[in-house]
């Protein structure tokens, strides 16, 4: 079956393998292949000796160079913190007004602030701080509950709202229904009034409508009009 023969064109022997008349030449492996293979083996042995490499159960060979990724990372983090401290130290020590007035410093502050906002706040307040159902829009609100100057914002972020912090800000809307401060009929009346504030044109009609609406639709209506019930900059 397999017959080695000399190929008349190249002068090489064949391996004896044949596929539908195509025969395989038995040529030498090119020298560079052995060179690179040898170089790779030497490099690997050198690496095992010099660097941390071989696991030994609960330890590993440390290598002659004594290199350690953990130490290297700690060192890099230290250097990065030192580089950042040029401006972080100023942010911590100088009043907000001075920081705001320094255009160069503000470039770093804006970048860091945006990243911090993305990591810590965007999940609730939205990537562009535009809020969503249940979460306030931090951009264009003409009125905020707790104030929007730098100190007020800092305080809100420090103590939280309804948080575990002893000085937390408390959102103080009482449970009028559960605590029986208002009867169901009175709640219906007040819903109608509040709805008329949000949509003045529909005010007259909504009072009559609200009397007949079920608790389910009443909840729906307050959910929609809740955030808008106080006078604020309104297009109409
Ligand atoms: C888990 C969701 C959540 C995260 C995360 C969050 N917030 Fe809030 N934030 C809220 C809610 C809900 C309110 C409204 C609370 C209320 O109305 O009582 C609020 C209110 C605020 C207010 C007050 C608005 C006002 O009317 O005065 C500010 C300012 C604020 N957040 C900033 C931030 C910043 C900055 C971060 C990130 C450091 C952040 N929030 C992270 C949910 C969140």
Structural contact between residues 226 and 218, judged by C-beta atoms closer than 8 angstroms: no
- Same domain for 86 and 24? no
167 found inside a domain: yes
For the Cβ of 120 lying below 6 angstroms from any atom of ligand 1, the answer is yes
Q: Are residues 137 and 75 in the same domain?
A: yes
**Same domain as 126, residue 86:** yes
Confirm whether pTM is higher than 0.85. no
Same domain, 151 and 136: no
List the pLDDT tens digit at each of the 236 positions of the chain.
Answer: 578 889 999 999 999 999 998 999 999 899 999 999 999 999 999 999 999 999 999 999 999 999 999 999 999 999 999 988 888 888 888 888 888 899 988 888 888 889 999 999 999 999 998 888 989 888 877 678 888 887 888 889 999 998 999 999 888 888 999 999 999 999 999 999 988 887 665 544 444 444 444 444 444 444 444 444 544 444 43
Q: Assess whether 193 and 223 both reside in one domain.
A: yes
1 occurs within a structural domain: no
Q: What is the pLDDT at residue 63?
A: 92
* Ligand 1 atom nearest to 162, measured from its CA: 18
Give yes or no for residue 222 CB within 6 A of ligand 1.
no
Q: Cα of 149 to ligand 1 centre, how many Å? A: 15
- Answer whether 126 contacts ligand 1 (Cβ < 6 A): no
Residue 79 domain-assigned? Answer: yes
Using a 6 Å cutoff on CB, does residue 163 contact ligand 1? no
Q: Residue 181: what pLDDT?
A: 94
Cα distance between residue 14 and residue 5, in whole Å: 6
> 164 with 217, same domain?
no
Q: How many CB atoms lie within 10 A of CB 221?
A: 19
| Per-residue pLDDT at 199 | 65
Residues 136 and 150 in one domain: no
State the Cα–Cα distance between residues 53 and 45, nearest whole angstrom.
Answer: 10
Tokens of 179: 């605590």
> Quick check: is 65 in a domain?
no
- Does the residue 120 lie in any domain? yes
Tell me if 24 is assigned to some domain. yes
pLDDT of residue 71: 94
Q: Tell me what pLDDT residue 224 has.
A: 40
**89 and 135 together in one domain:** yes
State whether 166 and 208 are in the same domain.
no
Distance CA 12, CA 7 (A): 5
Domains identified in the chain, total number:
4
**146 plus 98 within the same structural domain:** no
8 within domain boundaries: no
Q: Which two tokens stand for residue 229?
A: 């019930």
Same domain, 106 and 123: yes
Q: Are residues 109 and 146 in the same domain?
A: no
Distance from the CA of 33 to the center of ligand 1, in angstroms?
Answer: 64
**Residue numbers of the domain that contains 54:** 14-60
Ligand 1 pocket residue status of 193, Cβ below 6 Å: no
Specify which residues 6 forms β-bridges with. Answer: 13
Compute the distance from residue 166 Cα to the ligand 1 centre, in Å.
17
> 4 lies in a domain?
no
């Amino acid at each position: 079956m397999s017959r080695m023969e000399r190929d008349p064109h190249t002068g090489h022997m064949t391996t004896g393998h044949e596929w539908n008349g195509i025969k395989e030449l038995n040529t030498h492996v090119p020298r560079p292949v052995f060179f690179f293979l040898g170089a790779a083996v030497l490099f690997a042995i050198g690496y095992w000796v010099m660097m941390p490499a071989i696991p030994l159960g609960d330890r590993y060979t440390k290598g002659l160079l004594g290199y350690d990724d953990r130490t290297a990372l700690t060192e890099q983090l230290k250097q990065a913190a030192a580089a950042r401290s040029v401006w972080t130290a100023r942010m911590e020590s100088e009043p907000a007004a001075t920081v705001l007035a320094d255009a160069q410093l503000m470039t770093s502050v804006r970048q860091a602030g945006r990243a911090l906002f993305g990591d810590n706040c965007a999940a609730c307040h939205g990537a562009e701080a535009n809020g969503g159902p249940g979460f306030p829009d931090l951009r264009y609100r003409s009125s905020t509950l707790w104030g929007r100057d730098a100190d007020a914002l800092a305080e809100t972020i420090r103590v939280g709202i309804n948080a575990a912090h002893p000085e937390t800000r408390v959102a103080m809307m009482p449970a009028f229904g559960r605590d029986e401060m208002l009867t169901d009929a009175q709640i219906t009346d007040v819903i109608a009034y509040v709805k008329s504030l949000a949509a003045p044109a529909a005010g007259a009609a909504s009072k009559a409508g609200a009397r007949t609406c079920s608790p389910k639709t009443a909840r729906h209506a307050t959910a929609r009009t809740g955030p808008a019930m106080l006078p604020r900059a309104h297009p109409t």
